[in-house]
């Protein structure tokens, strides 16, 4: 078992989170993950790591049907934000792109959830590797991770 997956499992236990870890084939997109899992695309909880000019990192978690509006996200955080590079993400979170989980980070990171996710019964988030997903209730994930739910979604 990878170190990344071990960290996620450990935090699931520490938070007493009612969640399942599911192994899938490697998915390169939210649509592929949804097809592999057999869920709706909206139930995929994508993780996007943004970085401020002050080198603060933020984890934005949004539905598979949404995209993060970086300007809106920055306005909410009150800092200019940009997408962190792959190496910055790996160094700060301990996860590679495609496996960034809402749990098990190497460093503390503020978690901001797409408000839309809170309207769903279940979500499927990366669990530390591109081959593992975490199935859980979004409201429980929000509360147990001390996240906040905001509207940072790009209008289509």
Q: What is the pLDDT of residues 54-85, one digit of tens each?
A: 999 999 999 999 999 999 999 999 999 999 99
Q: What is the pLDDT of residue 127?
A: 95
Q: What is the pLDDT of residue 27?
A: 80
91 part of a folded domain: yes
Q: What angle do CA 47, 107, 63 make, to 5 degrees?
A: 10
Structurally, the chain folds into a number of domains equal to 1
30 part of a folded domain: yes
- What is the band of 155 on the pLDDT scale with cuts at 50, 70, 90? confident
- What is the band of 151 on the pLDDT scale with cuts at 50, 70, 90? very high
133 part of a folded domain: yes
Q: Which domain holds residue 111?
A: 3-150
Residue with tokens 């996007």: 48
- The CATH number of residue 38's host domain is 3.90.960.10
136 part of a folded domain: yes
57 part of a folded domain: yes
- What is the band of 28 on the pLDDT scale with cuts at 50, 70, 90? confident
Global pTM value: 0.95
89 part of a folded domain: yes
Whole-number percent of the chain with pLDDT over 90: 92
66 part of a folded domain: yes
156 part of a folded domain: no
**Number of other residues whose CB lies within 10 A of the CB of residue 82:** 11
Q: What angle do CA 59, 8, 37 make, to 5 degrees?
A: 85
């Amino acid at each position: 078992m990878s170190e990344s997956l071990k960290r996620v499992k450990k935090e699931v236990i520490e938070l007493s989170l009612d969640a399942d870890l599911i192994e899938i084939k490697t998915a390169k997109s939210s649509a592929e993950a949804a097809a592999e899992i057999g869920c709706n695309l909206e139930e995929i909880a994508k993780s996007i790591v943004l970085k401020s000019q002050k080198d603060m990192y933020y984890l934005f978690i949004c539905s598979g049907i949404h995209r993060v509006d970086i300007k809106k996200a920055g306005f909410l955080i009150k800092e200019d934000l940009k997408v962190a590079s792959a190496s910055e993400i790996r160094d700060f979170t301990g996860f590679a792109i495609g496996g960034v989980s809402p749990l098990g980070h190497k460093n503390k990171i503020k978690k901001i959830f797409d408000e839309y996710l809170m309207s769903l019964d279940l979500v499927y988030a990366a669990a530390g590797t591109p081959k593992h997903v975490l199935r859980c209730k979004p409201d429980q994930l929000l509360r147990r991770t001390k996240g906040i739910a905001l509207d940072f979604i790009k209008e289509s």
